[in-house]
Every structure is written in structure tokens, then in C-alpha cells.
Amino acid sequence: SPPFFLLVYRPREPMETKRVAIVGAGVSGLAACKHLLERGCRPVVFEADTVLGGVWAHPPECTALQTPRPMYQYSDFPWPESVTEVFPDHRQVMDYLDAYARHFGVLDCVRFGHRVLGMEYVGVSEEKLAAWEEWGGSGEAFGSGDGEWRLKVASGDDHVEVIFLFLLRLVCNCLPL
């Protein structure tokens, strides 16, 4: 499923108190976390796996980029000079993603072994939710403070369920770099 992130929007709150939940520590989730950290938010990345990388975490050993290396990089983080292959292999991609996450402090935000089981918007009538179906992506509907997003998260092997609350959900359908 595509990565997405959830943003808390409270107009009267200072930026550093805005909590953001990002589901998945793949290419898009790492970038979303980095950019939100830069804006003073407090992101949490829920990653079901024990490692970052998304689809790059467990591919067949022979897997390599299908896109030339210069076209598959973060705009603010070039590949290391040691990677000279036009199509780096999956281990090189994983090392690159790990270096990116470490460089920008993203790893400190990742909760490995935390699977998002579901989410729902609560505290608002069904009629009001139906009226928001085409709200244009401005965030105005969910910024009203009338309700909140409730995430159900299982942590680790013991399957303890934790509930996290947010005010606004933004869907991030990011394509690979």
C-alpha cells in the first residue's frame, strides 16, 4: 500500500508541538519525516519491519535500480562518491537510505516493529463526514478541531495495541524519487 502521513493541525499551537504520524520507513516515509523535522514538527514513523527501506528491505539478492543512479536520489542528498555504478544494487540502495536517515536525524523518529492496524476519524457525525468528501485538500475540514484521527498500532511480537490521536490526515501517494 502507498505510504502516507498524518498531520496534526492546531492553528494556535507552536510549530514544535505539531505531532505527525508517518506510516512506513520507505523512500517516501523517510523524505516526509526529514521535511517535517525541518519545519519543527514532531514526527513519528511507524515501521512494521525491523529495518527501514520499504520495498528495498528484503528483495532478491540480484535486485538493482532500474533507474539510473543520478535520477534516483534525494535532491538534497547525493549518492556517495564510492557508488559509481549506473544501477546500484539493493545493498547500495539500502546503505544510501540508511545514510540519509542518519544524516537528517530521521532514525531517531522511527518506531520499528510498529504496525498500523487501522485508523478512523471520530468525534464527528456521519453527515458532517459525508459533506467533507470533496474538501479540495486544503485541510480546512479537519482543521476545525471537531474530531480526531485514531490510529490503532500493534507494537512488537506481543501485539500490544496502542492508540494514537491526530487531528488531520494527509495522504502522501509519493512515487519513487
Instruction: Give residue-wise pLDDT tens across range 7-24.
Output: 444 444 555 556 778 889
Higher-pLDDT residue of 159 and 31 is 31
Higher-pLDDT residue of 21 and 26 is 26
10-19, 27-36, 65-74, 79-88, range with the lowest pLDDT: 10-19
Q: Give the pLDDT of residue 174.
A: 43
Q: Give the pLDDT of residue 116.
A: 85
56-69 b/e with 16+ CB inside 10 Å = b?
bbeeeeeeebeeeb
- What is the DSSP annotation of the chain? ---EEEE---TTS-GGG-EEEEE--SHHHHHHHHHHHHTT-EEEEEESSSSS-GGGSS--TT-B-SS-GGGSSBTTBPPPTT---SS-BHHHHHHHHHHHHHHTT-GGGEEETEEEEEEEEESS-HHHHHHTTT-TTSSTTGGGSS-EEEEEEEETTTTEEEEEEESEEE---PPP-
Q: Cα(163)–Cα(79) distance, rounded to whole angstroms?
A: 38
Q: Give the pLDDT of residue 132.
A: 61
Q: Give the pLDDT of residue 20.
A: 76
Higher-pLDDT residue of 125 and 45 is 45
Domains of the chain: 6-168 (3.50.50.60)
Taking residues 35-48, what's their average pLDDT?
88
Q: What is the pLDDT of residues 118-135, one digit of tens each?
A: 877 777 777 776 666 555
pLDDT at residue 137 above 60?
Answer: no
Taking residues 75-95, what's their average pLDDT?
96
